[in-house]
Amino acid sequence: MRAATESASRRALLSLCSALLATPTPSPAAAAAAAAAARGLQTFDIAASDLDRRSFRGMQLSNGLRVLLCSDPEAGKAAASMNVAVGSMSNPVEWPGLAHFCEHMLFLGTKRFPGEGEFERFIAANAGSNNAFTGSEETNYFFSVNGDALPGALTRFADFFTAPLFSESGTTREVDAIDAEHAKNLQSDFWRSDAVLRLRARPDHPYSRFFTGNRQTLRGGDADARAALFAFHRAFYRAPQMALAVAGPQSLDALQRLVQANFGALPPGPAPPASAAYDALPPPFDTQPQAEPPVATVLVPVREQRSVTVTWCLPVEDPDEWWRAKPDSTVAKGLASSVDGSIDEFTRSFVVLTAYIGLTPQGLQRWPEVVSALFSYLALLREEGVPPHVYAEERRMRELAFAFAEPAPPSSFVQSASGNLFLFPPREWLRGPLLAGEGAEPLVRSILEGLTPQAAVVKLTARELAPLATRVEPVYSASYGEMPIGREVAAWSAAPRLDGLADERFGRPKAFAFVSLRTPQLYESAAAAAQAELYAALLSDALQDVTYQAARAGLSAGASVGWQGLSLSLSGYDQRLPELAALVADSLRTFDVAPLAFERQRDGLLRQLRGADKRQPVEQAAYRRNLALETPRYTNEQLAAGLEKATLPQVLGLQRRLLPEVEVEALLCGNVAEGQATQLVLKLLNALGSRPLPVARRPVRRVRVLPAGERTLQQFVAASQAEVNSATEVYFQVGGDEADDWVLLTLLSQLMSKAPYGHGTEPLDSGSGGLSFLVQSKVAAPEAVEERIEAFLRLFRGTLLLLGEAEVQSYAASIAAQFTDAGRLWAECTRRRYDFERPWRSAEKVKRLTREQLIAFFDRHVASGSPTRRQLSTHVYAQSMAPPQLRVQLPGDDFYPAPRDLLLALKALFRACRAYGLGEQFNTAAQDEGTFAEWLDELPIEVAAATARLLKHHARSPAHVPEPSDCSD
């Protein structure tokens, strides 16, 4: 097997150096189709925001294909997405998972480009990405590339839909990928819960069936499976049932020519919509009271959790009216104000709406009362109706969101847009999905009339319900059962209504603030960290109430805790963010903590921590790596032990004593003036009333340095006996963001973007990073997987040697934009460098990287046998694969140095310069980076010594910084 793998890899290396960047010449058939498409072409004007810099054009080709073009000359990237109006509900009864299988197979070769990896190699060579997904009623394919590579990418992409090969070898092999994807989901509570819910659906409705497929349902990819793929593709992949969105820096006319040349050959109609086969069926779940006694489904989860979900299925009489007025959004938001409400499925004929409520042990015992409160709230909405101003406010907020929306990246834009081309007339393709039209009121009333106890599907999830779970779901082997709830349904129907409160406080336009309140108080011990997590959960609940009126005006606030302290986020359309910041800061020490709320949040966090060892093995491997490398970092067991001992008085005491000393740092972005930013921070500081945190007490998380030239190994066994997958992570430590290492790491990762193993760059919180290969398999043991990763790395060095400089530059130029996103600015703050031009310098630096630099970096940090490679291998075994003895090697206590605090150093340097009469020279030299560096080289040694004394003094007492002459050595 290894010889075959190496041979295939060598062929891949050679093909990678072929003329991948060439744009294929359209075939004569394609040219004829383009001419025909031009003859029957229709074009449409598109309504866009006045502030949108992009230009748009709508089209329908003669074959019926809908097309949205987006020209953005400022975009360095191009992207396209094809949405096909067929999904898993159109799987033939005898072929569960066929739609998903077809989605996979389209990537594995076409008549003009028969190589199985041809498309993905082209995309990777042009710094792009690609993927696809299969939904209930749609399948979406999408890619992004460098702007100048769009013609070649579109030519290859179009052949997916006109001439796929569905080769025998690919069909047989890709079943393994489908089966591996299914195996990954076997222990997922999400998939198990979904499967159990579908058992309640009408057996004659396709919604009740298994969607994703596995080796058994797809019959191993045999000849019959291949024939079924061809038949499915012929039946449903027709232009009238397809919609294409294309975005790029080219002009609209150039984009139009590309689309006509490549997609005019798509087979035309007539073809009935795929949904015609089931649209006339009754909804999958009963929407009216039934003669049979009502029952609730009980489910035993893999991970510890307790919840009750109430699901309704509502018929959609006029889907066009629903999409235009969006009544489901109003109802879902109404539910979300009291419970977690979501729309699980939205089709042309029905919608599935679910209310989720987490339960404590006491809540599980009294779950009928919990559900009764939900139905009382719904009764209130039905009786009093939704106030008219709510509809007007919803429409107004959507109008503002559309008017001031930032242009999305091309990849996100096309993926979202392509799915909307079936739902709205061409002029409304952009604004239709965002705006809410008139006419929602009667639809909302109709929805509320359907949210009754009699029409509800109730599901209880808890391990305590195991005695009632006497059945086994056939696909995921989930334990479930049923229990009668006739008396409960009768009581819910007679439940008294609740009364509500309305208020108006905040006005309405757009900024974002992220605030870090650094303190060691919240991570001094595992018990302190556990109490802090509990406090943050209670605070988040309280902020929902405190900021409710602000949220209605488009403002939002959030809070979280971590090893550095407390983080706040504020955003919205209003210029009243300073007022919101003060309100949130004041709430930190004053919000009420009810005993029941304490128990509910404590129970929820405990369940999360106790269930962490049931997560997928790949997640456990990454968790184990971070535990081995970072300190302080507490284990899930330590945090759970701290939570078990946590009491309400302890949390109340933490709240009263919160942040006695704090270091405040804020980043504000958007439509905010300097004065407003200053006002926000001042209001925050005044509300906190905390003392400055000494530098010596600033939270620090250190990263262990792995031994050079060695492989550090740690092995673990998955806690769940039912887990069939094992995971392998091979992590190569690179270190801090110094010199060119991180830009080289980013470029190397991009070059590996289509490696046969999942990988990525892994930055740690403290500014260290590395390259990670992460694989999950139910077939190969971790030792075998690691051997294959090493074999790939040996072959990949050959790939680097064969790369031309032009190809390196192409990859490098394509990733330059990654260095200039807004997150990089906040990283400059968190790493205390405050070098806000650094991201742009890094972007320019990556463009100048050479193949020799890349190979030297690879040899130093990644290559097999390198004396400087630092490797951590983490194995998480399925119990059936575990070796008799496990090895756990821990790295020593050699740590990377903490990031330097540039701002503090500059403050001290300025004071020292001023003391020696050089203050004005400092200000003048600091205006230019090059001049400043030369000026620093000429500073007297006395200034440097005074700066060092100031830094030492500041570490002891930041509240008072004396002049250099007052500081002793």
Q: Assign 960 a pLDDT band (cuts: 50, 70, 90).
A: very low
pLDDT, position 503: 35
Q: Assign 386 a pLDDT band (cuts: 50, 70, 90).
A: confident
Encode pLDDT of 27-80 as tens digits. Answer: 555 555 555 556 789 999 999 998 888 999 999 999 999 999 999 998 889 999
Q: Tell me the two tokens of residue 952.
A: 């030492």
Has residue 953 got a pLDDT over 80? no
CA 897 to CA 479: how far, in whole Å? 51
Q: Assign 258 a pLDDT band (cuts: 50, 70, 90).
A: very high
**Pairing label, strands 307-315, 350-358:** antiparallel
**CATH class assigned to 703-896:** alpha beta
| pLDDT over 90 percentage in the chain | 51
CA 388 to CA 391: how far, in whole Å? 6
Write phi, then psi, for 756 (nearest 5 degrees): -75, 5
Query: What is residue 885's three-state secondary structure?
Result: coil
Encode pLDDT of 241-252 as tens digits. Answer: 999 999 999 999
**Pairing label, strands 77-84, 139-146:** antiparallel
Q: Assign 547 a pLDDT band (cuts: 50, 70, 90).
A: confident
Encode pLDDT of 689-748 as tens digits. Answer: 888 888 788 898 899 999 999 999 999 999 988 899 999 999 999 987 666 787 888 888
* Higher pLDDT, residue 281 or 967: 281
pLDDT, position 573: 61
Lowest-confidence segment of 98-102, 630-634, 831-835 by average pLDDT: 831-835
CA 315 to CA 282: how far, in whole Å? 8
Q: What are the residue ranges of helices labelled H in 278-366?
A: 319-325, 327-336, 361-365
| Alpha-carbon distances, residue 682 vs 140, 557, 558, 832 (angstroms) | 48, 18, 19, 21
Q: Domain segments of the chain: what residues?
A: 510-700, 703-896, 900-955
> Considering all CA atoms of the chain, what is the largest pairwise distance in Å, rounded to the nearest integer?
94
Q: Do residues 838 and 828 touch, judged by C-beta distance below 8 A?
A: yes
Q: Assign 18 a pLDDT band (cuts: 50, 70, 90).
A: very low
Q: Tell me the two tokens of residue 865.
A: 């046998």
Stretch 582-597: mean pLDDT, rounded? 88
Has residue 956 got a pLDDT over 60? no
Lowest-confidence segment of 249-258, 365-374, 386-395 by average pLDDT: 386-395
CA 54 to CA 400: how far, in whole Å? 18
Has residue 766 got a pLDDT over 70? no
| Alpha-carbon distances, residue 414 vs 256, 439, 457, 772, 796 (angstroms) | 15, 29, 36, 30, 33
The model carries a pTM of 0.75
**CATH class assigned to 510-700:** alpha beta
pLDDT, position 14: 29
Q: Do residues 97 and 277 touch, judged by C-beta distance below 8 A?
A: no
CA 832 to CA 853: how far, in whole Å? 28
| pLDDT over 70 percentage in the chain | 84
* Higher pLDDT, residue 66 or 822: 66
pLDDT, position 732: 95
Has residue 343 got a pLDDT over 60? yes
Stretch 568-581: mean pLDDT, rounded? 76
Encode pLDDT of 288-315 as tens digits. Answer: 666 578 999 999 999 989 999 999 999 9
* Higher pLDDT, residue 162 or 948: 162
Lowest-confidence segment of 55-69, 338-352, 494-508 by average pLDDT: 494-508
Half-sphere exposure of 783 (CA within 13 A, CB side): 5
Q: Tell me the two tokens of residue 133.
A: 């997904």
Average pLDDT, the chain: 84
CA 26 to CA 9: how far, in whole Å? 30
In this chain, the answer to whether the domains covering 510-700 and 703-896 adopt an identical fold is yes
| Alpha-carbon distances, residue 480 vs 22, 187, 304, 496, 908 (angstroms) | 56, 14, 15, 32, 66
Lowest-confidence segment of 673-677, 818-822, 919-923 by average pLDDT: 818-822
pLDDT, position 339: 67
